[in-house]
């Protein structure tokens, strides 16, 4: 659910709908297998200068392997009536450490160019040729506060935007909500970690 809209530039009647070649772009959330996370908030500052709070959150999709980043996570939540991102703010809990992290990620101009550039591609799902867009930004989160960002499309491959280091959130998990984590790791994840440890440095 789209949260509070804050205008960061003067606009008496509020923002007009963005002029994009598709109804909405999307944000995907990912994490390595067993490295469970809970996303408290994804906030967006768009290229018009408007800020949108809590456009996404909750459970991430998990890749097929623990070490490194692997294919297998796609899709995302549509971000309606929000222009292309200038900056994305992310706050999440790494349940397996446990630790709470926060980061603001500046989105390079080339990413926004990719998001509105059509590319002719054969789509495996529909078995047809179509013009597709890289309209999905995926945020991958790993222990130690590592964030990996990709931009891709439903029928197009994903391009790496960058690897970033988040900071430990000074207020802890859920900020003023008693500082409790969302939950403990699942028994499967806990058993894997007790046997193998957390592979810091592999992401």
Distance CA 141, CA 30 (A): 6
Whole-model pTM: value is 0.89
Under the banding of pLDDT at 50, 70 and 90, the label for residue 176 is low
Measured distance CA(148)–CA(161) in Å, rounded: 8
Residue 14 pLDDT grade (very low, low, confident, very high; cuts 50, 70, 90): low
pLDDT of residue 4: 42
Q: Tell which residue, 62, 55, 25, has the closest CA to residue 41.
A: 55
Q: What is the mean pLDDT of residues 156-173?
A: 94
Give the pLDDT confidence score for residue 6 in this predicted structure: 43
Contacts of 191 (CB under 8 A, 6+ apart): none
Helix-, strand-, coil-residue percentages of the chain, each rounded to 5:
10, 45, 50
pLDDT value for 135: 96
3-state secondary structure of 115: helix
Task: Tell me 1's DSSP state.
Answer: -
- The beta strands (E) that lie in the chain are given as 5-7, 24-31, 37-46, 50-59, 61-62, 77-80, 85-94, 99-106, 119-123, 128-132, 136-142, 146-152, 159-165, 167-168
Whole-number Å distance between alpha carbons of 65 and 83? 34
Size of the chain in residues: 203
- The per-residue pLDDT for range 62-85, each reduced to its tens digit, is 999 999 998 766 678 999 999 999
The β-bridge partners of 91 are: 41, 102
pLDDT tens digits along 84-142? 999 999 999 999 999 999 999 999 999 999 999 999 999 887 889 999 999 999 999 99
Interatomic CA distance for residues 139 and 136, integer angstroms: 10
- Among residues 68, 66, 64, 39, the alpha carbon closest in space to that of 54 is found at 39
């Amino acid at each position: 659910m789209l949260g509070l809209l804050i205008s960061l530039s003067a606009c008496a009647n509020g923002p007009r709908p963005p002029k994009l070649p598709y109804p909405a772009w999307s944000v995907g959330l990912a994490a390595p297998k067993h490295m469970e996370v809970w996303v408290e908030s994804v906030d967006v500052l768009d290229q018009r200068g408007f800020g949108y709070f809590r456009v996404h959150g909750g459970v991430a999709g998990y890749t097929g392997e623990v070490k490194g980043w692997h294919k297998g996570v796609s899709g995302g939540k549509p971000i309606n009536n929000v222009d292309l991102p200038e900056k994305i703010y992310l706050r999440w809990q790494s349940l397996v450490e446990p630790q709470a992290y926060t980061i603001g990620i500046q989105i390079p101009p080339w990413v926004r160019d990719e998001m509105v550039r059509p590319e002719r591609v054969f789509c495996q799902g529909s078995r047809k040729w179509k013009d597709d867009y890289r309209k999905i930004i995926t945020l991958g989160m790993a222990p130690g506060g590592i964030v990996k960002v990709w931009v891709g499309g439903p029928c197009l491959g994903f391009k790496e935007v960058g690897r970033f280091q988040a900071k430990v959130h000074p207020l802890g998990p859920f900020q003023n909500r008693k500082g409790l984590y969302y939950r403990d790791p699942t028994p499967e994840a806990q058993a894997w970690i007790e046997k193998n440890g957390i592979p810091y440095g592999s992401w």
